[in-house]
Amino acid sequence: MRRDTCSSPTLPTKSWSPGTRKGASRSPRRRPLCEGRSGRRPRPPVEKGSPVPREHTVKLIAEAVDRLITVDVSSRGAVQVLYDAAREKLGNRPLTLLAAERLRDVAAPERPVVIATGLPIRGWFSPALAESDGPIGAATLARALVLAFRSLPVLICEEEQVPLLTACVRAAGLIPSTFEQIRSAKESPDALPDRLIPAVVVRGFPADEGKLERATEELLKIQPAALISVERLGANARGIYHYARGEKVRTEAMAKVDPLFAAARSRGILTVCIGDGGNELGMGLIREEVRRHVPYGKTCRCPCGAGLAPEFVPDVLVCATVSNWGAAGVEACLAALGNNANLLHSPDMEMNVIRACTDAGALDGLTGLVGAYVDTLPAKICADIVEILQAILLNASIAAQP
């Protein structure tokens, strides 16, 4: 007998953050994934006891995810070329799924995962002026890693952008902390190891080349399971960083994470890079395609003349229309692999993190204006992308039933 119930994965109606309501002890009501944002349940109802999606279903989810996050709504003309080239280099598999699988294979409780993000989008004016694409995706992906594996995300950016990135991780429901505080809490006789503390570390990484070697060794000493970049620019063959329009970025303002990623990969540590324009860290995997097809890829507009194509080659490259969407796509695939829809953040949380990022001073990367936009796209569009990702997971859950 069919029942008007749903047993597919569930999501909280809103994100939880410490101190939301004084004295609150209850978790927010959890609604079935089949329940829409309006609270109405679509028909037909789902039988109880839905099976876990099989391997082929997960692949179908990933194919849909990759298609969604590469829709060229910005009409820049590059994303499909970049995506196709990366996919061919990586075995013709969905890129978000490949990233999720590799992260799943190396992640472990309390083991650090370094996530690099941030860009001084108007660095000649102030290194503190970050763009909204990058920090948002880094924060929500950090959340997914905490919930999926109890990882310890370590987010790095320019020193001047630490307050902004801290605001983003708070809006994603995480607790900014330090290595010292985490170590002290772990050693406390009152510690309750089974209680989740969604702690993350947010710290600056040096722009001064004289400090890079020490900073790199300090981070590698904590034995990270993986290094991830979300919308981090990558240096070209001459060590120069470029904007998408071919101009030189004020190098003195850039946190130079390229040597960190190169050192990590040389030691067998997983490196995953997420980008959208061809000038981001990790695009070295498809350097020749960037040089051929991306404006200023071969010849830039700065005196170096070497083009904006970066050098570093990662283990996995995820190409998306907006880098934040690429991070959300990886979350969706982690959710599919773990049969846990909560690993993908909600549309409401997307709006909250965008708002926090903007309130902290982030600019739209293309217009330079402060506002609830990411690469000229309104916050609502970004939240809608997350909602469609939820729908992909839901529909796969329904379709997988006998």
The CATH number of whichever domain residue 203 belongs to comes to 3.90.1640.20
Residue 44 lies in a domain: no
Q: Is 28 inside a domain boundary? A: no
Q: Is residue 300 part of a domain?
A: yes
Domain that holds residue 248: 56-399
321 belongs to a structural domain? yes
Q: What residues does 275 pair with on adjacent strands?
A: 319
The pTM for the full model equals 0.87
Q: Are 186 and 197 in contact (CB under 8 A)?
A: no
Tracing tokens 């102030």 back to the chain, one arrives at 126
Q: CA 309, CA 282: separation in Å to the nearest integer?
A: 10
Cis omega before residue 44 (within 30°)? yes
Establish if 299 belongs to a structural domain.
yes
**Domains in the chain, number:** 1
Whether residue 229 contacts residue 281, with contact meaning beta carbons closer than 8 Å, is answered with: yes
Residue 144 lies in a domain: yes
CA distance 257 to 271: 12
**Helix orientation angle between 323-338 and 379-399, rounded to the nearest 10 degrees:** 20
Contact 243, 301 (CB under 8 A): no
Report which of 282, 385, 333, 260 is spatially closest to residue 103, judged by C-alpha positions.
Answer: 333
pLDDT at 159: 96
What pLDDT was estimated at residue 252? Answer: 87
The dihedral through the CA atoms of 385, 390, 392, 395 has a sign that is negative
pLDDT in tens, the chain (402 residues): 443 433 334 433 333 333 333 444 444 444 444 444 444 444 344 344 444 447 889 999 999 999 999 999 988 889 999 999 999 999 999 999 999 999 999 999 999 999 999 999 998 898 899 999 999 999 999 999 999 999 999 999 999 999 999 999 999 999 999 999 999 999 999 999 999 999 999 999 999 999 999 999 999 999 999 999 999 999 999 999 999 999 999 988 899 999 999 999 999 999 999 999 999 999 999 999 999 999 999 999 999 999 999 999 999 999 999 999 999 999 999 999 999 999 999 999 999 999 999 999 999 988 999 999 999 999 999 999 999 999 999 998 777 666
The pLDDT value recorded for residue 402 is 61
Residue 77 domain-assigned (yes or no) = yes
Does a structural domain hold residue 10?
Answer: no
CA atoms in the 13 A half-sphere facing the CB of 205: 29
